[in-house]
Amino acid sequence: DKGNHRHFMAKEIHEQPEVISHTLSNYLDMANGRVSIPDLGIDLATVPRVTISACGTAYYAGLVGKYWIERYARVPVEIDIASELRYREAPLPEGGLALFVSQSGETADTLATLRYARANGQRIASIVNVRTSTIARESDAVLPTLAGPEIGVASTKAFTCQLSALACLAIALGRARGAISEEQEQELVSALIEVPRLISTMLVDETPYVELAHLLSKARDVLYLGRGLSYPLALEGALKLKEISYIHAEGYAAGELKHGPIALIDEAVPVIVVAPEDDLLEKTISNVQEVAARGGQIVLISNADPEKIGCELAAHIKIPDAHPLTYPLISAVPVQLLAYHTAVLMGTDVDQPRNLAKSVTVE
Ligand code: M6R
């Protein structure tokens, strides 16, 4: 049932405040400002490395997880796409933790990589949305996402719920290793608790996206840029747009711009920049100016004052001020809505795009 929405994807985007809240409440002791994740059957204080693997959007959630775990827990994290990790026969450290992220819990490559990790002595944990799935059953420990059934082929609410669980895991690891103090834990937990409300404020008025859809729908190529925690969001934004609008889109780390993709930029190329006000903003601004100098049409997704950018913008999508930990969750919403409204304008089958299956159970 789509409720009063035109597509399941729209309904699922709008469900995010509620399902993120559900997922967080599973991993947070809200009253005391603490995280409480299930026992993974491994000593979090001494785990030598975390290896994360997944496909598609779940992989991008994992990439955010890597940045969080490295930053807040100072544990080395390796991450790779499941179809690569399993075939390159990556060496895995003794006593390591392997973490798999999957909405369906049935993705063939992710499952095969899980089995590879088990055969190579890893403790297996998974973040899955379908509790009864094969990946959940074959894991030593499961961190469920409570997104509810996701019908739209383009993943939206499952992604932000995966991020919610990963943030809690990163904080738990950080505490176990003494990388963050009890006060820092409380600060991060309060930041997460704010997320559902902040996301609700972004779902009130979608007219800016409807207008921007006109710009994007005319483009042949669209570039998404982000740095640090926003880099996986650039990748996710590009994937969402190509999946449902069939417009060629690429996500790039902002710092890589001058190593190649800048050659693509001219007046016809919209460049979506995910740049919340964090400690990397200044660096990203210099990349934005390089794009502007070549006539690119810049769509800025940020809470920063556009005056700071120092160049003309085609549009500014304002996000709310938030704790730096939570910007990946906040920025997910504008990239989803941009893709959604562009696809609606173009008249594609938003919930069931061509050539795609909800669950990829073959290699
Ligand atoms: O069920 P999974 O999370 O394992 O699926 C992984 C990918 O197939 C999935 O995220 C895919 O990339 C989506 N269509 C993205 O919107």
> Which residue in the list 2, 242, 318, 358 is annotated as catalytic?
358
> Ligand 1 centre from 223 Cα, in Å?
21
Residue of 295 and 132 predicted with greater confidence: 132
Q: Which of 63, 81, 103 to mutate to test the pocket of ligand 1 (most atoms within 8 A of CB)?
A: 103
* Residue-level pLDDT at 270: 96
pLDDT > 90? residue 11: yes
Distance of alpha carbon 207 from alpha carbon 212, whole angstroms: 9
**Closest ligand 1 atom, residue 107 Cα:** 4
**65 phi and psi, to 5 degrees?**
-60, -40
Instruction: Give tens-digit pLDDT for 232-271.
Output: 999 999 999 999 999 999 999 999 998 988 889 999 999 9
Q: Are 180 and 171 in contact (CB under 8 A)?
A: yes
Distance of alpha carbon 102 from alpha carbon 158, whole angstroms: 9
Q: 230 in ligand 1 pocket by Cβ < 6 Å?
A: no
Q: Which of 101, 129, 153, 155 to mutate to test the pocket of ligand 1 (most atoms within 8 A of CB)?
A: 155
* Residue-level pLDDT at 311: 87
Instruction: Give tens-digit pLDDT for 48-100.
Output: 999 999 999 999 999 999 999 999 999 999 999 999 999 999 999 999 999 99
Q: 156 in ligand 1 pocket by Cβ < 6 Å?
A: no
Give residue 306's pLDDT band: very low, low, confident or very high (50, 70, 90). confident
- Angle at which helix 56-73 crosses helix 231-245, to 10 degrees, equals 170
As beta bridge partners, residue 274 has 226, 301
Q: 155 in ligand 1 pocket by Cβ < 6 Å?
A: yes
Handedness of CA 38, 42, 43, 47 (dihedral sign): negative
The span from the first CA to the last CA of the chain, in angstroms, equals 31
Percent of the chain with pLDDT over 70: 100
Q: 360 in ligand 1 pocket by Cβ < 6 Å?
A: yes
* Residue-level pLDDT at 51: 98
Distance of alpha carbon 299 from alpha carbon 225, whole angstroms: 10
Distance of alpha carbon 203 from alpha carbon 208, whole angstroms: 11
**Closest ligand 1 atom, residue 135 Cα:** 4
For ligand 1, atom 11: residue with the closest CA: 56
Q: 107 in ligand 1 pocket by Cβ < 6 Å?
A: yes
Residue 132 amino acid letter? T
Residue of 299 and 359 predicted with greater confidence: 299
Instruction: Give tens-digit pLDDT for 98-113.
Output: 999 999 999 999 999 9
Mean pLDDT value of segment 150-176: 97
Distance of alpha carbon 283 from alpha carbon 272, whole angstroms: 16
* Residue-level pLDDT at 363: 83
Q: Which of 55, 60, 110, 151 to mutate to test the pocket of ligand 1 (most atoms within 8 A of CB)?
A: 55
Percent of the chain with pLDDT over 90: 87
CA angle 283/289/295 to nearest 5° reads 150
> Ligand 1 centre from 126 Cα, in Å?
15
> Ligand 1 centre from 57 Cα, in Å?
5
> Ligand 1 centre from 106 Cα, in Å?
10
ipTM of this complex prediction, to 2 decimal places? 0.99
Mean pLDDT value of segment 21-36: 96
Q: 102 in ligand 1 pocket by Cβ < 6 Å?
A: yes
**Closest ligand 1 atom, residue 360 Cα:** 8
**Closest ligand 1 atom, residue 153 Cα:** 14
Q: 270 in ligand 1 pocket by Cβ < 6 Å?
A: no
Mean pLDDT value of segment 16-21: 98
> Ligand 1 centre from 177 Cα, in Å?
32
Number of residues in the chain: 363
Mean pLDDT in the chain?
96
Mean pLDDT value of segment 297-322: 93
Give residue 184's pLDDT band: very low, low, confident or very high (50, 70, 90). very high
Instruction: Give tens-digit pLDDT for 130-162.
Output: 999 999 999 999 999 999 999 999 999 999 999
* Residue-level pLDDT at 333: 98
Q: Tell me if residue 11 is catalytic.
A: no
Question: Burial, 360: exposed, middle or buried (Cβ in 10 Å; 0-12, 13-18, 19+)?
Answer: middle
Token reading at 154: 């383009």
pLDDT > 90? residue 300: yes
Distance of alpha carbon 184 from alpha carbon 168, whole angstroms: 13
Mean pLDDT value of segment 9-38: 96
* Residue-level pLDDT at 55: 98
pLDDT > 90? residue 347: yes
Mean pLDDT value of segment 194-205: 98
For ligand 1, atom 8: residue with the closest CA: 56
* Residue-level pLDDT at 361: 87
Q: 359 in ligand 1 pocket by Cβ < 6 Å?
A: yes
